[in-house]
Amino acid sequence: MRASRPRFSPSYGISESDDGLLTWDWALEHLAASHNYWISTTREDGRPHAMPVWGVVHEGSLWFGSGGVKADNLTRTGRLVAHTESGDECVILEGRAEVDDVSDELRDAYEAKYDFRPDQTQMWVVRPTLAFAWRERDYPQSATRFLPG
């Protein structure tokens, strides 16, 4: 993912300089450190749906298990927003989620993080098309947008 400045309202005071941009490695590290992730999807009638889930960053991607409304919405559209639990050191992923096979390494990572070993054979993996990250303590200098490429 390549870093640039987000296109927020000028009133936020986002710098045009690259000084202070965060790296994708920083974003992945903070994504991995989050205990919970907010997953937002859209119901068939257009209503939003947001719920926290457990997940792990494995091989550079966020993986999580889910059923119910989230799974129905993702099966239908594949679109989501995934957000760390913190707004102070924030990582937001926009993109698609797809079901993929769970490896033993992923199960090991999940168990190490939550002291719980999932038994499902598949989980959702997030494929970001756009991401944002920042640190509240030095916002707006750290405000960063990530795009593929």
Average pLDDT value for residue range 13-27: 94
Average pLDDT value for residue range 106-126: 96
Average pLDDT value for residue range 29-51: 97
Q: What pLDDT score does 51 carry?
A: 96
Q: What are the chain's domains?
A: 22-137 (2.30.110.10)
88: helix, coil or strand? coil
Q: What pLDDT score does 64 carry?
A: 97
pTM, rounded to two decimals? 0.94
Average pLDDT value for residue range 73-100: 97
User: Among 149, 104, 94, 88, which residue's Cα sits nearest to residue 127?
Assistant: 94
Least confident of 3-17, 27-41, 131-145: 3-17
Q: What pLDDT score does 15 carry?
A: 86
d(CA 26, CA 48): 29
